[in-house]
Amino acid sequence: MSQVRIFDTTLRDGEQSPGASMNIEEKLLVARQLERLGVDIIEAGFPIASDGDFQAVKLISREIRGCEVAGLARANRGDIDRAWEALQYAANPRIHTFIATSPIHMKFKLQKNAEEVLAEAVEAVTYARTLTNNIEFSAEDATRSEIDFLCRIFTAVIEAGATTINIPDTVGYTIPEEYGAMIRTIISRVPNIDQAVISVHCHNDLGLGTANSLAAVENGARQVECTINGIGERAGNASLEELVMSFRTRHDQLEFETNIDTTQIYPASRLVSQVTGIRVQPNKAIVGANAFAHEAGIHQDGVLKEKSTYEIMTPESVGLPQNQLVMGKHSGRHAFREKIVGLGYELSDEQVEIAFQAFKALSDKKKTVYDEDIDALIADEIIRIPHYFKLLYINVNSGSVSVPNATIQLEINNETLQGAEFGDGPVDATFKAIKRLTKTGSKLLTYEVKSITGGTDALGEVTVRIEEDGLTVMGQGAHTDIIVATARAYINALNKLEYKKHNRPRVTV
């Protein structure tokens, strides 16, 4: 069977999803899970984009030894030098340089002609090759580029030293038959194509990211670029779990294999969902809550008699936890540690202790603590961004005959501030009080409340989305008191917004 390399770009393209920015600690947490998952290459970030991205790529390069680590760079020396400065510590560093090749991008974005683009691509690869032998070149917006020019530029960059050429469907424009034909044409017309691995990077704007990637592999591509849960710019990227399980489940038609440990797929999905705040839709293939659920009587009867009647893969094959640990107030540290490892988290002893104390406090209020409760606790206590704003306490008064009001105490820049506001209801009063103390100019776009566990003692989760100066972020908060959860969610979003203000906009490939 032919080997297909898995290039995971969750930490770069995936992080470009609106509101999904991760801090350094979160990126390292995800990178370690990707290493356990068995991906071949981790694209850790775009080092020139911000100091935070640079430091994250540098840290991952130092810490991750079981995968190649890649950093993105535009086709210029400044980007390449910055990328190498961060990547040089990796066991097997890869510089991933790119330039747009479609007529629309060259004319309107780059304002360069084809010959100028070709020269810059060759110069970038030639220079990057002086730093490392592991060079990937991407022709941005390849599927809307002229095939003659693509063949010319790929021939030139391979001659200059590129060891991987990427043919990205940057805007999710192509369809499987067309994409497969493009791969075949490039293979037949690029004379030195045997000196490089063909890679594909498909976006999901038409819902064809996975299908296009599979078509490319069937026609000669041997590296696929994808993300956990399919997150990424706009409609996202080809989904790692869908690609890998397609190879595994339909090996009769797709005679390809990967190095992925599929039992780590579900823990990776949960972790990425928690650190980004982007929930997995229930009907999402492979990792959605309904992926292995059966409600119809005919389906239930069939599954009870023989699972394969309605399940083409087993939950265990993707690491879906078969929970044997009932967590409650009598549970100890050992059981708690085993539980969080099973959920895909790798925490230090100090972090485990912080989470455990929060767990014990919650278990005094609830008869049973569910996986979702622990996810929410860890998200709230451990893997969030730095606390520019910290909630110290909140007190709310509301009723049918009183004017709702909220009193809030925050810690801002090591200073304790307190304020109170009236509102149309307790939520409105809470938002107004926080907005007054933080002096934020952000606008609330959405406010969502859900119970993530059952019963009257359920842990409630609040999700908010806010926007300021073109920056949009999502915040989450969980608590048995929904108003406290609301305050936590808003402050979490404001912290993310503050953090994101220090990050320059990223670009896509």
Joined together, the tokens standing for residue 23 give 């801090």
CA distance 14 to 43: 10
Shortest CA distance to 88 belongs to which of 53, 59, 66, 114?
A: 59
Look at the alpha carbons of 355, 358, 360, 366 in this order and tell me if their dihedral is positive or negative: negative
Shortest CA distance to 69 belongs to which of 33, 45, 50?
A: 45
- Which of 120-124, 344-348, 390-394 is the least confident region? 344-348
Side-chain-facing half-sphere of 18: CA atoms under 13 Å: 12
Residues 406 and 373 both lie in one domain: no
Decide if 436 is inside a domain. yes
| Helices 333-342/371-381 angle, 10° precision | 90
Q: How confident is the model at residue 332 (pLDDT cuts 50, 70, 90)?
A: confident
Range of the domain at 410: 389-501
pLDDT of residue 324: 46
Residues 415 and 368 both lie in one domain: no
SS3 455: coil
Contact in structure between 232 and 203 (CB atoms under 8 Å): yes
pLDDT digits (tens, 9 = 90+) for 56-75: 999 999 999 999 999 999 99
pLDDT of residue 507: 43
Q: pLDDT at residue 423 above 70?
A: yes
Residues 55 and 76 both lie in one domain: yes
Phi-psi region of 203 (alpha: psi -120 to 50; beta: other; left: phi over 0): beta
Residues 49 and 74 both lie in one domain: yes
Q: pLDDT at residue 15 above 60?
A: yes
Residues 48 and 125 both lie in one domain: yes
Look at the alpha carbons of 243, 246, 252, 258 in this order and tell me if their dihedral is positive or negative: positive
CA distance 63 to 35: 10
Contact in structure between 244 and 8 (CB atoms under 8 Å): no
Q: Which of 381, 405, 427 is the last residue of a domain?
A: 381
C-alpha distances out from residue 101 to 116, 277, 415, 467, Å: 11, 34, 52, 33
Decide if 291 is inside a domain. no
Residues 131 and 208 both lie in one domain: yes
C-alpha distances out from residue 438 to 300, 413, 414, 477, Å: 52, 11, 13, 18
**Which is higher by pLDDT, 44 or 302?**
44
Q: How many CB atoms lie within 10 A of CB 313?
A: 16
Give the chain's mean pLDDT. Answer: 89
Residues 28 and 120 both lie in one domain: yes
Residues 130 and 237 both lie in one domain: yes
Joined together, the tokens standing for residue 61 give 């390069």
Decide if 286 is inside a domain. no
pLDDT of residue 373: 74
Decide if 309 is inside a domain. no
Instruction: Specify the number of domains making up the chain.
Output: 3
Joined together, the tokens standing for residue 498 give 């503050």
Decide if 237 is inside a domain. yes
Q: How confident is the model at residue 473 (pLDDT cuts 50, 70, 90)?
A: confident
Decide if 299 is inside a domain. no
pLDDT of residue 278: 87
Residues 340 and 482 both lie in one domain: no
Residues 412 and 366 both lie in one domain: no
Highest mean pLDDT among 193-202, 286-295, 475-484: 193-202
Decide if 370 is inside a domain. yes
Q: How confident is the model at residue 23 (pLDDT cuts 50, 70, 90)?
A: confident
Domain with residue 493: its CATH number is 3.30.160.270
Q: How confident is the model at residue 490 (pLDDT cuts 50, 70, 90)?
A: very high
Q: Mean of the pLDDT values across residues 111-124?
A: 98
Which residues lie across from 399 on neighbouring strands?
Answer: 402
pLDDT of residue 296: 56
Decide if 34 is inside a domain. yes
Phi-psi region of 363 (alpha: psi -120 to 50; beta: other; left: phi over 0): alpha
CA distance 355 to 184: 52
Distance spanning both ends of the chain, measured CA to CA: 30
Q: pLDDT at residue 385 above 70?
A: no
The structure's pTM equals 0.77
Residues 405 and 497 both lie in one domain: yes
Name the pairing type of β-strands 402-412 and 2-3. Answer: unpaired
Domain with residue 118: its CATH number is 3.20.20.70
Shortest CA distance to 160 belongs to which of 201, 125, 132, 184?
A: 125
Residues 334 and 364 both lie in one domain: yes
